[in-house]
Amino acid sequence: MKKILFAFLLFVVALIDASAQRVNVELVFSPALDNTTARVYMTPLNFAAEDNAKAMRFKDGAYAAALPLSKSGFYNLVAVVNNRQLIVPVFLADADAAKLNVDVEKTSLKVRGTADNVALSDLNSLFAAYERRLWTEAGLDNAALKSLLKGFAAAADSVIEARRPSKEVVSYIKAWAYTRAYLSYGAIPRAQRIAPDAVDFAIGDILPEPQKALDNDYASLFPIANIVVNETLPDSGALAEKLDALYSAYKNSYLRSMVSASIMNRFLMEYNYAADFEGGLSQVNKAVKKYGLSESYANEYSKRKCTIPGSKFPGEVVLVDANGNVVDFSSFKGKYVYVDVWASWCGSCCKEVPFLKAMETELENDNVVFLSISVDKDGEAWKSKMKELDMHGNQLLDKDNSLCKALNVMGIPFFAIYDKEGKLHTYDALRPSKSVQLKKVLENLK
């Protein structure tokens, strides 16, 4: 009996927990929208992450959905009306249900109701107006541009004073104003059609130190905050120096987590493993230990040993042929293997195929074989493109993209050469379109 009661209680707790993970939202638009002229979505904004947009159902003149609960309390509301996309942030504090009245204006949405959402809607309209002016009013001089960009923070302060939103929304607004001004500064040359050096003021002339606006929970809701913080950290390339500067200047755990992940991943991508593999591993291990970062960084670093000439072909990579049969790379032992990593959706990859086919035909060296490895997730797309391009010979699929991860490939097409023992001979080899130079290299492989 006790076991049954305990199981029942667990079941009830699970139901309560599951229901707490959803918020029922109903939207009533003015003027009214319907599903023949509009599509409506809401996206929960979570710290250092963003969920997928959730389509709202149209019923009885309103749009409704049970949305995943946002841990931050913030959501992006998006309405596509007659091919116009209108976006506004929404704040729902501690709510398991909400009914929102939304005004549809020519260039924006305005959510009525709480001081929080009125403040967010007011600023959304003001920020959009500043950006339109930047892009549509030609010939703004530097003084006008500085004044315009300073307007983001001024508008935020004004709305905060007038609407008195909650402290959560105040923090969000400060980060929002900062990042919008930052993005607008970077857009000046394109928006005004001027040379970058025609802008005679720096970002620091219009914005304070980023810590003042971004060192809070809500800055991590803005992906650009990651870039802003990274650009203000030391650029020496030393991992410890960057992380030390980050953890010294910023206290917020969400922001630290987002930026430290960016720093670590960039280090993994850009480090010269062949130059000093053990030295780089030591840097990663020290960073992981000092700042309590995930052990996965050290594991990912260790996998990159495959990028060093003399390393064996990555053992975790599973290759299959068009019939789904697993093909072991060791089956090419005794031959040099020229590897082409490509995908059906990659235009640059497909442009190399005719050169690759010609090289296979023209090369007079029986010691060399050619192997094309697709990283398509869609096997049918891969087969269709092979047929379209009349690709034959050794064609294999790495559906999990594990080869690119192991070889630290940052873009395709990518080419490499493995020796007769299955060890890396040349990392980032010449591409087939460099046919004269490549042919000499391949002919000399004995």
Contact 424, 305 (CB under 8 A): no
Give tens-digit pLDDT for 147-177. Answer: 999 999 999 999 999 999 999 999 999 999 9
Tell me how far the alpha carbon of residue 135 is from its chain's centroid: 26
Give tens-digit pLDDT for 173-227. Answer: 999 999 999 999 999 999 999 999 999 999 999 999 999 999 999 999 998 999 9
The CATH number fitting domain 22-113, selected from 2.60.40.1110, 2.60.40.1220, 1.10.240.10, 3.30.1450.10: 2.60.40.1110
Tell me how far the alpha carbon of residue 294 is from its chain's centroid: 19
Give the separation between CA 216 and CA 253, rounded to whole angstroms.
Answer: 8
Closest CA to 154 of 191, 108, 206: 206
**pLDDT higher for 381 or 48?**
381
**pLDDT higher for 6 or 122?**
122
Contact 422, 384 (CB under 8 A): no
Domain-wise residue ranges, the chain: 22-113, 119-211, 233-307, 329-443
With a CB cutoff of 8 Å and minimum separation 6, the contacts of 62 are 26, 27, 28, 29
Q: Give the neighbor-by-neighbor strand order of the sheet with 414-418.
A: 394-397, 368-374, 336-342, 414-418, 424-426
Question: Is the model's pLDDT at 85 over the cut of 50?
Answer: yes
Contact 214, 227 (CB under 8 A): no
User: What is the per-residue pLDDT for 235?
Assistant: 80
The percent of residues above 70 in pLDDT, for the chain, comes to 94
User: What is the per-residue pLDDT for 274?
Assistant: 85
With a CB cutoff of 8 Å and minimum separation 6, the contacts of 219 are 171, 175, 179, 213, 225, 252, 254, 255
| pTM of the complete model beyond 0.85 | no
User: What is the per-residue pLDDT for 12?
Assistant: 38
User: What is each CA distance from 271 to 7, 163, 198, 267, 308, in whole angstroms?
Assistant: 52, 49, 35, 6, 12
Give the separation between CA 239 and CA 323, rounded to whole angstroms.
Answer: 45
Q: What is the fold of 329-443?
A: Glutaredoxin (3.40.30)
- Cis peptide bond prior to 208, omega within 30° of 0: no
Give tens-digit pLDDT for 34-78. Answer: 888 889 999 999 886 667 889 999 988 899 999 988 989 999 999
User: What is the per-residue pLDDT for 74?
Assistant: 95
Q: Which two tokens stand for residue 180?
A: 């919008």
Contact 445, 367 (CB under 8 A): yes
Give tens-digit pLDDT for 243-284. Answer: 999 999 999 999 999 999 999 999 998 888 888 999 999 999
